[in-house]
Chains A and B, each alone.
Chain A
Amino acid sequence: MLDTSVTLSGWRLDNPVIPASGTFGYGREFRDFYDINILGTFSFKGTTLEPRFGNPTPRIAECTAGMINAVGLQNPGLDAVVAHELPHLKTFFRKRVIANISGFSVEEYAACAERLGREEQVGLIEVNVSCPNVRHGGMSFGTDPDHAASVTRAVKAVTDKPIYIKLSPNVTDIVSIARACEDAGADGICLVNTMLGMRIDLRRRRPVIANTMGGFSGAAIFPVALRMVWQVASACKIPVIGCGGVETARDVIEMMMAGATAVEVGAANLRNPYACKEIVESLPAEMERLGIERLSDIIGAAQND
């Protein structure tokens, strides 16, 4: 009997497949396509203390094997998520969810973590210190080890839920930031968020994205994400959730062999709404082909001498 289950800080997931924050809303849009209970879990849309509209449009640009988004953390705000989205989610998703939070100050991160930490539906809290699309917040906390550590300490202090810090790839030394989070008490690391990128409209001679730059994601970033997962997994003891360019069951297995305990799938959901369903369904056959009986056995397998 093949075993696809993995465990994140004591939370057992049926499989390691997790739609990434910002590509799956609060689950509503995808339940129209399939029963999302087949997922390991999913990470809900980055939530801030106050409602946000986000950046002006255009917010989307296409690239070779990927896309750029500059949505800018559009979300209904913490209160609406607690009052409306979580109760609604409960009507069609019986598993616990990953609460992705973002903020513009250490206090805002703490306030979101404290409130969502009281929700039984929340399995763990993913702290987004890596959004490239907002000023004075987001990524600025995740590109400096000291800032990342102070956010980690602040959220750890207000909740008992496991805290996973979602890191940005737009740094010179990912390991030093991951280590700073681990030392500050983080229960896990999720990486990577999107890579800062841009496109220019040749006819208009202007950036395609209204906000000039945005976050590049999609299949093209997979090798970079895989490399960073490898580096962090070999330097830290806490679990790593791998994210970046994953589109297939083989990509999931590759991320896990690099050291990921679970794997997030982002942009692939947007081009193919069934992407995660297809990955979950093809995992067993892929495991069989590769002689894997227990998926958790291959975590970091490529790191072993």
Chain B
Amino acid sequence: MYKKGIYTILSNEPLTASVWRMRLAGDTQYITRPGQFVNIELPGRFLRRPISVCDWDEGSITLIYKVVGEGTADMSRMTAGERLDLLTGLGNGFSTDTAAQRPLLVGGGVGVPPLYNLARRLIAEGRRVSVVLGFNTAAEVFYADEFRALGADVRVATADGSMGTKGFVTDVLPDVEFDYFYACGPLPMLRALCDAAQCDGQLSFEERMGCGFGACMGCSCKTAGGSKRICKEGPVLAKEEVIW
């Protein structure tokens, strides 16, 4: 089920030069799984902006978004007290219903946020969680400490070597023991990860969306299980479903 409602901005602050964190107060009962997203109406913009949920509790939502266009630039200029119209509870989200004892969470750039609540849940369930975060450069790194504070084993890879391992997230994999993986990030990262990992996993994809709730068929993709809408039957697909 979904909820369309009005949410009040509690805070909106930059984490890096282009990545921002917005906290919103409002009804969160329809958000049921990590990896789901909200769709935000912005004044003067025709389409809503789909943003993954980083974390939530009974009365607030945390979103982390990257300023990539005019809509997200609008968002970055908003301040506490302003109100936004959101659709919440969209998408399937990650399933933690697996036998994995040592799950690995792999995030690339702005693909990192939806893994945060997932890590929190997996750790609360008593699993040993490893997290590998990939960025271009040290100045773009965010949330490594937040994942550490949850109790996860965190490694960082940067393409230029300015923090952590020099290279891509896949260059860190040989150092990590894991029996399952969850990933969100750019397509080449997801593909390289699927090639490198022997075990099963779940991957979160993105696509340009019209509605965000399954009506317009704008974000369809072909999978081994037939056509799926990234907004409705996704954004999370199982590794074996993905057609590269």
A residues near B (Cβ < 8 Å) are 22-25, 28-30, 32-33, 45, 53-54, 57-67, 69, 71, 74, 208, 218-219, 267, 269-274
Contact = CB atoms under 8 A, between A and B. Distances in A.
A263 to B, nearest CB: 19
Main secondary structure of the interface of A (DSSP, over half): loop
B211 A269 contact: yes
Contacts of A63: 46
B48 to A, nearest CB: 6
A68 to B, nearest CB: 10
Interface residues on B, range: 20 to 34
18 contacts: A22-B217, A29-B215, A32-B2, A53-B220, A57-B220, A57-B221, A58-B207, A60-B208, A60-B210, A64-B46, A69-B210, A71-B218, A74-B227, A270-B210, A271-B46, A271-B48, A273-B2, A273-B4
Nearest to A24: B215
A60 B229 CA distance: 13
Main secondary structure of the interface of B (DSSP, over half): loop
Contacts of B211: 23, 29, 269-271, 273
A71 B217 contact: yes
B209 interface: yes
Nearest to B232: A29
Contact of A54 (B48, B209, B217): B217
For B41, B48, B210, the residue with the greatest tally of chain A CB atoms inside 10 Å of its CB is: B210
B45 A60 contact: no
B46 A69 contact: no
A218 B46 contact: yes
Contact of A25 (B41, B47, B48, B215): B215
B7 interface: no
Contacts of A28: 214
Interface string B190-207: 000000000000000001
B4 A274 contact: yes
For B41, B213, B217, the residue with the greatest tally of chain A CB atoms inside 10 Å of its CB is: B217
A29 B213 contact: yes
Contact of B219 (A22, A45, A59, A66): A59
A73 B53 CA distance: 31
B1 interface: yes
B87 interface: yes
A200 to B, nearest CB: 14
Nearest to A51: B227
A270 B215 contact: yes
B73 interface: no
A28 B87 CA distance: 17
Contact of B208 (A22, A61, A271): A61
Contact of A273 (B1, B213, B222): B213
Contacts of B71: 62
A32 B219 CA distance: 20
Contacts of B1: 32
A62 to B, nearest CB: 5
A74 B215 contact: no
Contacts of A66: 46
B176 interface: no
A32 B48 CA distance: 19
A273 B217 contact: no
Nearest to A55: B220
B182 to A, nearest CB: 23
A29 B90 CA distance: 12
A22 B216 contact: yes
B214 A29 contact: yes
Nearest to A62: B47
A230 to B, nearest CB: 25
Contacts of A271: 41, 46-48, 211
B160 to A, nearest CB: 21
A180 to B, nearest CB: 31
A57 B210 CA distance: 12
B46 A33 contact: no
Given A32-B1, A59-B208, A60-B208, A67 B217 contact: no
Nearest to A274: B4
A275 B96 CA distance: 35
A66 B64 CA distance: 27
Contacts of B41: 271-272
For A45, A60, A269, the residue with the greatest tally of chain B CB atoms inside 10 Å of its CB is: A60
Given A60-B208, A67-B46, A269 B220 contact: no
Contacts of A25: 214-215, 217
A37 B214 CA distance: 20
